[in-house]
Structure 1
Amino acid sequence: MTTLPFDALACPLDHSPLMHTDGVWRCEHGHSFDVARQGYVHLLPVQKKRSLDPGDSKPMVAARRRFLETGYYDGIAEAVSHRAIAALGSMVRSGSTVPAILDAGCGEGYYLRHLDAAAGEQPLAMIGVDISKWAVLSAAKRERACRWAVGSNANLPVLPASVDLILCLFGFPSYGEFARVLKPGGRILQVDAGADHLKELREIIYPELKPTRERTSSAPEGFEELASSTLRFTAVLGDQDAIADLLAMTPHLYRGSAEGLERAATLSTLTVTVDVVIREFERQADSL
């Protein structure tokens, strides 16, 4: 693998370029951000936080890491990597620059690691950004070749027009920011839960399922939708630990009824439907 760290970072306070020297990222206005011992950089200023410890908690991150390491979502990772490599094909052929990938809401780095492995000898410059310091810490411990940063999708610590491809997987897209940091012709790969995603689990923990909200069919402003597809498969969770980890890594743990969560805790196995929608958008040249 030939992954390179992404270096086009921007100061989260004034948006000027950051320079890396002696384990510190500094901008021309004197703002500085230390690189943690594990290799990541914290670029979410206190004044831009909505809570003391935003994003996924340490237990949620640990549950997601255990669940994903079992391979239950490998089908999603493989589909995303395949689409990402195809999207980058024209960029690789058209010039000598290394394509830059941003995972916006990277969690513990599962999808970037899969893409890294699938790319083989093709060099990629990668950065994962997440608002949870626990997620970024976990990612940095597993993969030192990527750049990892604590930051927000609403204020990405990335320079304008510096990214070729954004991954936004089960996350919170900020299309204005995505348009700002993408190069003209850059792409977004977005993965969202479909109507039947984890339906069997939801039927257990909720008294009744709410009607599925209609997903907008139009592309976000400044983008053209190139493709949309659905990926469906089943996953057999073979023990209570896997079921508990799946619950812990989703909002359902906090939204489910007490009776429903008790029922889920008694299960020793559960077959769930994985149903996701993969959409690909291209940034238009005049979107800014």
Structure 2
Amino acid sequence: MSITPFQALACPLDGDPLTQEGSCWRCPAGHSFDVARQGYVHLLPVQKKKTLDPGDSKVMVAARQRFLNAGFYQPIAAAVNRTVLADAPEHAPLSCLDAGAGEGYYLRQLAAEPGLTQPLELIGLDISKWAVLAAAKQDRRVAWVVGTNANLPIQTASLDRILCLFGFPVYGEFARVLRHGGQLIQVDAGADHLRQLREIIYPTLKEPGTGDRELPPGFELAGTEPLRYELVLSTQDQITDLLAMTPHLYRAKAEGLEKAQALDSLTVTVDVVVRRFVRLGPFP
């Protein structure tokens, strides 16, 4: 078993294949993108940014790294790994993109899966430069890229798997970069996900989406796995980190956040759905 960086990158400006030349990637038109000393490449042109510093902040990334590395979402990672590898041919290389990889926890868990026989070609993409920087510092076996799901800097029909975990799916782009028969593994929050925390910080609850959406064009649903368990947060720091890694930190009002930050412990329900979609036919 080996872990190597995914190489089939594409220019974010014109879509042509990128070739690595020393410490930069170049396309035939001459566009050039330097590899940072930490090992990642920035493929999000300024004209495709909606804000100066998009995505999670440095503080949010650090909180997520602490929380995930503590193992609180390891059952989710285990379910994702099972789904990724379920139909994978033994010993054949398997290329996988985490679209919205954050600080890289789930790809690191995939690379560490016991008994893994497939050579993995891994790429983690996130719109936050702080997330990609944190990921690159923890594992250099992965191609870490600053980019956007709306314009994936990846060559057409070059991937076997895509992960979209609590993220923002762009199904047209996912369909473009997946091979025929490739799979999208998507994790969405269920109705009770973090309910106890949400009951504290919001005066009334707005139920999260359960993922019961129309089937994405070009895909068929191949499997669904609900996952539910109780999570005990035993310190105020753990509660603060959970808040900081979710959108609730910015959606909740000050009164609700103060209530949560006054807690010394909290038991919350983790309620998610893992869905597996298969790419049908060639990309148009």
Query: Do both proteins adopt the same fold according to a TM-score greater than 0.5, normalized to the shorter chain?
Result: yes
Match of 1:225 among 213, 221, 225: 221
The letter for the 2-side match of 1:108 is: E
Q: Give unpaired runs (5+ residues) of structure 2.
A: none
Residue of structure 2 in register with 1:111 after alignment:
106
For normalisation by structure 2, the TM-score amounts to 0.97
Structure 1 Cα separation of the partners of residues 143 and 110 of structure 2 = 14
Q: Give, in angstroms, the shift of residue 217 of structure 1.
A: 4.4
Structure 1 Cα separation of the partners of residues 9 and 258 of structure 2 = 46
Match of 1:236 among 232, 237, 249: 232
Residue 30, structure 1, aligned to residue 21, structure 2: no
Structure 2 Cα separation of the partners of residues 164 and 21 of structure 1 = 25
Residue of structure 2 in register with 1:165 after alignment:
161
Residue of structure 2 in register with 1:66 after alignment:
66
Q: Give, in angstroms, the shift of residue 164 of structure 1.
A: 0.2
Could you tell me whether the CA contact under 8 Å between 1:100 and 1:125 is conserved in 2?
Answer: yes
Q: After the TM superposition, which residues 139-178 of structure 1 pair with which residues of structure 2 at under 5 Å, given as runs?
A: 139-178=135-174
Residue of structure 2 in register with 1:10 after alignment:
10
Deviation by residue 1:124-147 (Cα, 9 ceiling, x = unmatched) = 000000000000000000000111
Aligned pairs, number: 283
The letter for the 1-side match of 2:97 is: L
Q: Give, in angstroms, the shift of residue 85 of structure 1.
A: 1.1
Q: Give unpaired runs (5+ residues) of structure 1.
A: none
Residue aligned with 2:240, SS: helix
For normalisation by structure 1, the TM-score amounts to 0.95
Match of 2:131 among 127, 132, 135: 135
Identity %, equivalent residues: 61
Q: After the TM superposition, which residues 44-59 of structure 1 pair with which residues of structure 2 at under 5 Å, given as runs?
A: 44-59=44-59
Residue aligned with 1:122, SS: coil
Structure 2 Cα separation of the partners of residues 104 and 178 of structure 1 = 9
Q: After the TM superposition, which residues 245-264 of structure 1 pair with which residues of structure 2 at under 5 Å, given as runs?
A: 245-264=241-260
Residue aligned with 2:205, SS: coil
Residue aligned with 2:169, SS: coil
Could you tell me whether the CA contact under 8 Å between 2:189 and 2:208 is conserved in 1?
Answer: no
Residue 277, structure 1, aligned to residue 273, structure 2: yes
Deviation by residue 1:139-177 (Cα, 9 ceiling, x = unmatched) = 000000111000000000000000000000000000000
Could you tell me whether the CA contact under 8 Å between 1:102 and 1:126 is conserved in 2?
Answer: yes
Task: Write out the 4+ residue segments of structure 1 that deviate beyond 6 Å after TM superposition.
Answer: none
